[in-house]
Structure 1
Amino acid sequence: MMGKKGNELNTIKRYIGQFHPIVWVLLTGTILSRGAMFMTMPFLAIYLSRTIDMHPLLIGLTVGISPLVATAGGFVGGHLSDRYGRKPILTISLFTISLVFFGFSLATHPVWFIVLNALNGLSNSFFEPTSQALIADLTEKKKRMKAYSLRYTAINIGAAVGPLLGAYLANISAESTFIITGIIYFAYALALTALLGRFQLGAAASDKLKVTFLDALNIVKKDSALRYLIFGIILINIGYSQLQSTLPMHLEESLENGVYIFSILLSVNATMVVFLQMPVSAIAERFRPMHVMVFGSLLMMTGLAGFGFTAGWFLSLLSVALLTMGEILIFPANSVLIDRLAPERLRGIYFGAGQFRKVGNFAGPVLGGFLFSEAGGSVMLWTVSIIALASIIFFSLGNRSFIKVEADVAKTG
């Protein structure tokens, strides 16, 4: 019996030991911070409508300003992390996000909410590429797919638990959700700062490549594989963003108890990601990331198109299952590919450039809303599924460029 327990403990130690302690802090922090974020942000529009009595146009501007600012902010943050080190960007970003949520709990004027959510988007866009770059810095190459898959699983654990807590707390005190979120981000910032200091990691190194912002922009502009990847992910996000924008409206209109069905579908989506991300990623590691993304695009397109034919429970569940499998394949593979494309000294810049994909998060709901109002839910979903499918063209072109770069490196090396 003791021998069995000893083997189990050794297995756990080996599993934990495969990643640096800071990687585990980032993963744990992702669960807590994303849970807190999903506890508040999905309910922000309702809070502004009920408590501040904001005009719907101002509410849309307030909610939409975050991804809009984040579109360019990620590249700036990634560049700064390469130039000045990961630690200052990570810690300043987390402390700023914490202050943003404390600010939400105190704000009473619409302008403050717009400013604070813009700052929220900017700070998150600084933190995201820098944290991904740090994971790559601290993880050996063959284990990075697993690390990014764990990170995506952590995000979805937070996404599954956060809204349930938010719905419960909103009935008690809406302001309390902002305060709790601010406290969680503040604690995360303190823990990460302490650990980065202990291991003397994340500070600016003397051998960092001192490139200006314009130099960095030119370097990325010349990387055709990265450009194709970003264009492809933008098209994917235009389709994927319908999951939480126009899809609930379509289901409410076309199905009895459509809103209830939608809530079940969201739970299915999050549960599938949590339980299937690691085994599916283990299989996906055997193939080229671009090939994985092409297959993921086909699955996502089929799922989106399937919702356009939805007439009941079965097809809805099948559609969300296909869409989720596409999601599981695409997003971690995207991080792996950016990591492989990036020169080591420009890793932050490349992950920052990857934030331009959020153009799709901004454009998707706008395009989807227009098509929904003008042509109906089914036509809207079929249209965005074709747009998502078009990403295959860019992924295929990007794969050719990437293979060419690898061949050139092999010749010169």
Structure 2
Amino acid sequence: MYWLKWDLNLKIRLIGDTLFNMLFWMYFPFITLYFSGAFGKSVASLLMTVPPLVGIFANLFGGFLSDRFGRRPSMLLGSCVQSAMFAVFACSTNHWLDYVAYIGIGLGGSIFTPASSAMVADITSEKDRRMVFATFVTGRNIGAVFGPALGAVFFIHYRTELLWTCTLVTLLYFITIWWKIRETLPVQANRPRKQEKLSGLLKEQIRNYGVIFKDKAFAIYILAGVLVTIAFMQLDMYLATYVKEYVPAQPLLAFKGWSFTLSNTGVFGWMIGLNGLLFVLCVMPVTKLFEHWSDRNVFIFSSVLFGLGMFLMSFTTNVWLLLIFVTIMTIGELSRSPVTESFVSKYAPAHARGQYMGASNLQYSLGRFIAPVAVFLSSWVAPVGVFGFIFLCTLLSVGLYILLFRIIPNEKSSAEKSIDL
């Protein structure tokens, strides 16, 4: 599916999402340092636990809104909230107001995301969805690769100007969505409804999500995703600790009397840089390579490859071997990324797609919340034990994916009959 032949909705979304993610990665990696300087490390660490919890409920709410009122209104609300909160952050002279604005930015993004993903699924055929989602993953990761390098300059030295730029971009995105994006909510979901009070809407949301979470297959999918996310998060958590404590400074390249030596911090930087670069360059080719693989086999392959690549690191401190193992685990990670949203879009009933997308994001929120346990274990367990625990998480996810695809036909049929949003 060529980009020029895409629906206008998709073209606008790809450009807008890529620009916004570039700006996001220019401030996000530095926000904890910013609040640590303002409130102290202990208070900042506690404050940083709140946004992910807010994001859980905002994702569910955003999914409900996208199915109840439409994808477009949910995206407009999310981008409007983000633009307003960026403006507040830019104007603020109080650190607590900065923090409230930061939470508001995340809130707007969480409302926007389920509707955004559901819209992609609404207007693409099943056979094209993996490649379309892979293109969006590539756009997001361009920002993840280049954003921090730019943010090291702009967020530190020109923070107010950067925040006003974010305000302008999200405002322009809001205007473009309002002017150019058409609604894609399936006809069967867009039926007349009686006016309800806010309490009635909240009860309806709770009832609908209750039906989703009683879906046994989907619950297994989320649990497997939590285990995988715990493993994926170690790239930024335990792996950094391992490299700092066990990997010595060493030459990356040496020729006769000349050498290019990396400190342990430098080694970790190269590992993270390679991971990001591979995501940008290889998501599309890898997705194309596995185009004819079933979702089941991609999930299993991804979990095994990532866990194995991570586990092998426990047996070496050589920089070249570490980079090879990062390549192995990154291929596992990126092979999964487009398939997750594609799977949910196929599994969910069309009229409940937004809510399933919102509920699916729980695997990432819960996985991030539990992931620090690996760093906690490292105080008592040798590296091979911690990496073994990470590998075990991925192997357990393999077992759950095998179980999931054994029961999925019956459960999916049951869910489609039960849910009536």
In the alignment, structure 1 residue 214 sits paired with structure 2 residue 199: no
- Equivalent residue in structure 1 for 2:348, among 314, 319, 342: 342
What TM-score results when the alignment is normalised by the length of structure 2? 0.86
Q: Deviations over 1:182-232 (max 9, x none)?
A: 322222222222212xxx425796853669213311321232221111111
Q: Distance in 1 between matches of 2:316 and 2:82?
A: 39
Letter of the 2:273 partner, please give it: S
Q: Distance in 2 between matches of 1:262 and 1:390?
A: 28
Q: Distance in 1 between matches of 2:307 and 2:69?
A: 41
CA drift of 1:269 comes to: 1.0
Q: Deviations over 1:148-205 (max 9, x none)?
A: 1111111111111111110122342233333322322222222222212xxx425796
Higher mean alpha-carbon deviation, 187-196 vs 14-23, is at 14-23
Partner of 1:264: 270
- Equivalent residue in structure 1 for 2:42, among 57, 82, 88: 57
CA drift of 1:405 comes to: 5.0
- Equivalent residue in structure 2 for 1:201, among 183, 193, 216: 183
Q: Distance in 2 between matches of 1:252 and 1:182?
A: 37
Q: Distance in 1 between matches of 2:57 and 2:390?
A: 24
Partner of 1:112: 97
Q: 1:349 to 1:171 in 2, by over 3 A?
A: closer
- Equivalent residue in structure 1 for 2:15, among 15, 28, 38: 28
Q: 1:25 to 1:168 in 2, by over 3 A?
A: same
CA drift of 1:29 comes to: 1.4
Partner of 2:418: none
Q: 1:204 to 1:290 in 2, by over 3 A?
A: closer
- Equivalent residue in structure 1 for 2:374, among 368, 377, 385: 368
- Equivalent residue in structure 1 for 2:359, among 353, 357, 366: 353
Sequence identity, in percent? 24
Q: Deviations over 1:228-277 (max 9, x none)?
A: 11111111111111212332232122222122122212221121112211
Q: 1:326 to 1:219 in 2, by over 3 A?
A: same
Q: 1:188 to 1:262 in 2, by over 3 A?
A: farther
Q: 1:100 to 1:30 in 2, by over 3 A?
A: same
Counterparts of residues 377-392 of structure 1 (less than 5 Å): 377-392=383-398
Higher mean alpha-carbon deviation, 227-236 vs 374-383, is at 374-383
Q: Distance in 2 between matches of 1:351 and 1:27?
A: 18
CA drift of 1:285 comes to: 2.3
Q: Distance in 2 between matches of 1:160 and 1:67?
A: 22
CA drift of 1:318 comes to: 1.5
Letter of the 2:319 partner, please give it: W
Partner of 2:330: 324
Q: Deviations over 1:287-345 (max 9, x none)?
A: 21122111100011012212323312122112211121111122211111101111110
Report the 3-state secondary structure (helix = DSSP H, G, I; strand = E; otherwise coil) of the residue aligned with 1:381: helix
Q: Distance in 1 between matches of 2:94 and 2:382?
A: 36
Partner of 1:3: none
Counterparts of residues 208-357 of structure 1 (less than 5 Å): 208=190, 212-255=204-247, 256=249, 257-357=263-363
Maintained 8 Å contact 2:65/2:74 = yes
Maintained 8 Å contact 1:86/1:204 = no
Maintained 8 Å contact 1:77/1:125 = yes
Q: 1:106 to 1:407 in 2, by over 3 A?
A: closer
Maintained 8 Å contact 2:311/2:387 = yes
Higher mean alpha-carbon deviation, 93-102 vs 33-42, is at 93-102
Partner of 1:186: 171
Q: 1:382 to 1:142 in 2, by over 3 A?
A: same
Maintained 8 Å contact 2:215/2:411 = no
Maintained 8 Å contact 2:302/2:331 = yes
Maintained 8 Å contact 1:68/1:358 = no
Maintained 8 Å contact 1:85/1:205 = no
Q: 1:377 to 1:40 in 2, by over 3 A?
A: farther
Q: 1:377 to 1:179 in 2, by over 3 A?
A: farther
Q: 1:68 to 1:319 in 2, by over 3 A?
A: farther
Letter of the 2:238 partner, please give it: T
Letter of the 1:215 partner, please give it: R
Q: Distance in 1 between matches of 2:24 and 2:31?
A: 11
Q: Distance in 2 between matches of 1:349 and 1:336?
A: 15
Q: 1:368 to 1:177 in 2, by over 3 A?
A: farther
Partner of 2:408: 402
Q: Distance in 2 between matches of 1:86 and 1:407?
A: 25
CA drift of 1:408 comes to: 8.6
Partner of 1:142: 127
Q: Distance in 1 between matches of 2:129 and 2:403?
A: 24
Maintained 8 Å contact 1:87/1:201 = yes
Maintained 8 Å contact 2:186/2:350 = no
Q: 1:382 to 1:180 in 2, by over 3 A?
A: farther
Letter of the 2:126 partner, please give it: K
Q: Distance in 2 between matches of 1:221 and 1:407?
A: 15
Q: Distance in 2 between matches of 1:308 and 1:113?
A: 41
Q: What runs of 5+ residues in structure 1 fail to find an aligned partner?
A: 1-13
Letter of the 1:226 partner, please give it: F
Structure 1 residue runs of 4 or more that deviate by more than 4 Å after TM superposition = 202-207, 405-409
CA drift of 1:58 comes to: 1.9
Q: 1:336 to 1:252 in 2, by over 3 A?
A: same
Partner of 1:11: none
Residues paired across the two proteins, number: 391
CA drift of 1:358 comes to: 2.4
